[in-house]
A and B are shown apart, each in its own frame.
Chain A
Amino acid sequence: MKTLLTIIILMAFYSTSSTAQAGEKLHLMKVHGAVCASCAYGLEKKFKKIEGVTGFDIDFKTGVVSVCTDENTYFEKQQLTKIFIESGYTFKGEEIKGSCSQIANTENKTFKKSHVLNLGEDVTISGLYNGMCEDGEDFYFVYKTDVLEVILPKKGIPENLAKGTTLKVSGTVISHGDEIKIKARHIDVQ
């Protein structure tokens, strides 16, 4: 985090594509046995029947089910175990981690559904340029509730770029723990 401490955040994006709302909560659940989308549809169906659930996704590679809820929605362990059993899977534990801004809509997901960013995944995010900070050859910006950083190549930012300009950044997710980092490959000034 030394790097981050040296960074003065000069640039921030307000995503034009996020569905995240204030007060939303992200539930991450470990699942065993989930291997295909068409088989896992039962999980989505059962979670979306619950009042307060606003988003659903599964990362098959990491075996993590992500459920977005309003801040007042909690799941009992027994309730989660039942949902997973009735869907034909094994529930391995839940963690409430961060906010639903971790489920960020991206342009290559057509803005239709919330989506958990995966390591190595290519994403495109549009947002408003609000200044930048320098750390060696790279720049960072923080997105929303301090959970998403985008690393921009120095040469990618035009000089004297006015704040409020819309940028479209294409890049690769290089970290998706507490903080999501995206290394940008291409920047378009809109």
Chain B
Amino acid sequence: MSTDLINIENENMSCLAAIKRYQATKKPIKTILCGVVSLLLLKITPTFAHGPIFSPGPETLYKDGIEFQLDYYRSKSARASENEQAIGLGYGITQDWEISVELPYLTANEDGSKNSGTGNVQLETRYRLWRMDSFGKQDSITGFVTAVLDTAKQTINPMLSYGANDFIVGLAYGQESLIWQRWASLSYRFNGENDDGLNRGDQLFADASIGWRSEMPQYYKSDTLWMIELNVEHSQTSQQNNISLKDSGGTEVFISPGVIWAYRNIALKGGIQLPIYNNLKGDQNNADHRIKFSIDINY
């Protein structure tokens, strides 16, 4: 582990101070924690054809089903923005067990600097632990594990990856009926430590969503579902070589209206996350908004 990349003297060294130190030393550096980069932490599991947009749902593909997904994701704060385009592919091993992969391409902007390249590949496996079918209703609980692999283009200014593998584990519950849908999920992200000793704080996500359609679905008619989500994100303080970084960690809460339009095996989804509460520690950028669009095709 290299300790000469950033010589952190103060226990609560800020992100800005770390950058200045780096610029002064001109030593190679892979990891500097700051508010803009924290945007990259916020991307979580892939969405599914019929579930919440910004949080995981309990849906799994039918046996031998294939899901192809195109995502566009944008995150914006005062000084930075990030755009992500991703291709996702899922496969139903059984009706309860699904595996998927997501390949992102990122474009990040920060204070006039721009960087782009491949992002971190995500692998996910999900298993439906419980399901109860009744007339016009389905309740289910699904557990999932996601690996966010350190495959992104390793560059800085702004950086596209921290250089570590992360893992997400979680549970998602759903009660879907002909008119109303209810979802809730709880997930925890274990952020790995990179070669430079940066250990980003782990994150806890809690989500609750309601969906509503104005009329009964019909198989050969398009189906529109309106949704609203409440997303809570709590990040622990990050550490560099076991020293806490003061401009890290905190809590943000979002309200996220969205809509799904589906026709049989094709679904278009879109939504926006708007912050309604934040308590980020130190000097960090609060998120302005995040937008997500996706196209799902099942076969």
Contacts and interface: CB of A to CB of B under 8 A. Distances in A.
A86 B95 contact: yes
Interface in A70-108: 85-90
Contacts of B298: 38, 41-42
Interface in A43-92: 43-46, 57-61, 63, 85-90
Contact of A88 (B95, B217, B223, B264): B95
A109 interface: yes
A45 B63 CA distance: 11
19 contacts: A32-B133, A35-B136, A37-B217, A37-B218, A37-B263, A38-B262, A38-B266, A39-B49, A39-B50, A39-B59, A41-B62, A45-B65, A45-B299, A57-B220, A58-B219, A61-B216, A63-B136, A86-B64, A88-B96
B220 A35 contact: no
B259 to A, nearest CB: 14
Interface in B84-140: 92, 94-96, 131, 133-138
A45 B221 CA distance: 17
B264 A33 contact: no
Given A35-B136, A86-B62, A88-B62, A40 B177 contact: no
Nearest to B59: A39
Contacts of B196: none
Interface in B222-236: 223, 225
A58 B221 CA distance: 11
A89 B133 CA distance: 7
Contacts of A176: none
Most B CB atoms within 10 A — which of A33, A46, A59, A87?
A33
Interface string B261-277: 01111110000000000
List 5 A-B pairs, minimum CB-CB distance, nearest first. Answer: A42-B62, A33-B133, A86-B63, A32-B133, A90-B133
Contacts of B49: 38-39
A113 interface: yes
A35 B217 contact: yes
Contacts of B138: 32-35, 89
B60 interface: yes
Interface string B123-159: 0000000010111111000000000000000000000
Nearest to B94: A86
A43 B296 CA distance: 18
A113 B299 CA distance: 18
Contact of B136 (A37, A42, A60, A113): A60
A14 to B, nearest CB: 23
A36 interface: yes
B134 A32 contact: yes
A181 interface: no
Given A37-B219, A41-B264, A42-B298, 12 more contacts: A32-B134, A32-B138, A35-B137, A36-B50, A37-B217, A37-B262, A37-B264, A42-B65, A60-B178, A61-B136, A86-B95, A88-B95
Nearest to A60: B217
Highest count of chain A CB atoms <10 Å: which of B62, B176, B262: B62
Interface in B277-299: 296, 298-299
A27 interface: no
B219 A40 contact: yes
B217 A87 contact: no
A36 B176 contact: yes
Nearest to B92: A42
